[in-house]
Amino acid sequence: MGAGGEPLLELSGVRAAYDGITVLHGVDLAVDAGRVVALLGPNGAGKTTTLKVAAGVHPPSGGRLLLGGRDVAGARAGDLARAGVCLIPEGRGVFPNLSVRDNLWMMTFTGRTRAEIEDTAYTRFPVLADRRAQPAGTLSGGEQQMLALARGLTTEPAVLLLDELSMGLAPLVVADLYERVADIAREGVAVLVVEQFATAVLKIADHAAVLVRGRVPWQGHPDSSLHAELSSYYLGSAP
Ligand SMILES: Nc1ncnc2c1ncn2[C@@H]1O[C@H](COP(=O)(O)OP(=O)(O)OP(=O)(O)O)[C@@H](O)[C@H]1O
Ligand SMILES: [Mg+2]
């Protein structure tokens, strides 16, 4: 991937299980600073589990998780968060009954002031400024994702893990969100994006990996051949 630099985030032979049932059977993935990697695959493939392992939310049962070249497998979520790993979970991760402003103010634990946090969020996502007093649960789906991203970015992450950013959103909204994600990557963040449907994220992805039943049968540059690969994997006709 990057010209000689070592990846910021690397999963090597990662295995994971729930209640003794293995769902990741040796996943290899690497994300460089400033790059967007798309992890694609059908329902139940293990995409969310991969992100949970990368964020320390779920322990790997084997393999290595490297952050800046250091093996952090088994480290807790809080430690990885402090080391710069930020997971935006499926389903947006905002507090629906709290206002936009209150959702942002909760991030003062990062040491930044309320004003700094609001300024940064509204500069990146101006629509949130207009909605600052509105309960987050009444924002549109796309605005809720912007708020979730704005909250995550206050931690100044080195690694951003995004789970199904596009869920339930119109294609134009998704395309706009992914432009913001591309901006975030250009600022030097290593971004790993999970999606079931590939179209929007592949426009900004530098690298793509396909995950099927806990294995990565294909990864490479997201060129046009990937679409054919994907449809065969999704339909289950590929090995
Ligand atoms: N907490 C859990 N307990 C037991 N099994 C789980 C748990 N979470 C996930 N699984 C199982 O692990 C497998 C992978 O799930 P995962 O959520 O990682 O898939 P996914 O690729 O994110 O799917 P989707 O596209 O539907 O979000 C599935 O078979 C799922 O049922
Ligand atoms: Mg999932």
In b/e form, how buried is each residue of 98-120, taking b as 16+ CB within 10 angstroms? ebbbebbebbeeeebeeeebbeb
CA of 195 relative to ligand 2 center, distance in Å: 8
- pLDDT per position in the chain (239 positions), as tens? 444 467 899 999 999 999 999 999 999 999 999 999 999 999 999 999 999 999 999 999 999 999 999 999 889 999 999 999 999 998 778 999 999 999 999 999 889 999 999 999 999 999 999 999 999 999 999 999 999 999 999 999 999 999 999 988 888 899 999 999 999 999 999 999 999 877 788 889 999 999 999 999 999 998 867 877 777 777 655 44
Helix (H, G, I), strand (E, B) or coil at 63: strand
CA of 186 relative to ligand 2 center, distance in Å: 26
Does the model's pTM come out above 0.75?
yes
The contacts of residue 21 (CB under 8 Å, 6+ apart) are none
Question: 45: which 2 tokens?
Answer: 């493939």
CA of 196 relative to ligand 2 center, distance in Å: 8
pLDDT, position 2: 41
Element at 28 (helix H, strand E): strand 21-31
CA of 90 relative to ligand 2 center, distance in Å: 7
* Alpha-carbon separation of residue 58 from 51, 93, 94, 106, 162 (angstroms): 9, 17, 21, 24, 16
Alpha helix (H) ranges present in 170-220? 171-186, 199-202
The contacts of residue 182 (CB under 8 Å, 6+ apart) are 36, 204
Alpha helix (H) ranges present in 34-138? 47-55, 77-82, 100-105, 114-124, 126-130
Mutate which of 48, 166, 212, 215 for ligand 1 pocket (most atoms within 8 A of beta carbon): 48
pLDDT, position 235: 66
Question: 96: which 2 tokens?
Answer: 């629906």
pLDDT, position 5: 64
> Which residues lie across from 86 on neighbouring strands?
160
pLDDT, position 236: 59
Domains of the chain: 9-93+158-235 (3.40.50.300)
Residue whose Cα lies nearest atom 16 of ligand 1: it is 46
Sheet with 207-212, side-by-side order of all strands: 85-88, 159-163, 190-195, 36-40, 207-212, 215-220
Phi, psi of 21 (to 5 degrees): -100, 120
pLDDT, position 3: 44
94 contacts 151 by C-beta, under 8 angstroms: yes
Q: Report the atom number in ligand 1 closest to the C-alpha of 196.
A: 25
Residues with CB under 6 A from ligand 1: 18-19, 23, 41, 43-49, 196
Going by C-alpha positions, the residue among 216, 80, 237, 44 that lies closest to residue 159 is 80
Q: Report the atom number in ligand 1 closest to the C-alpha of 42.
A: 25
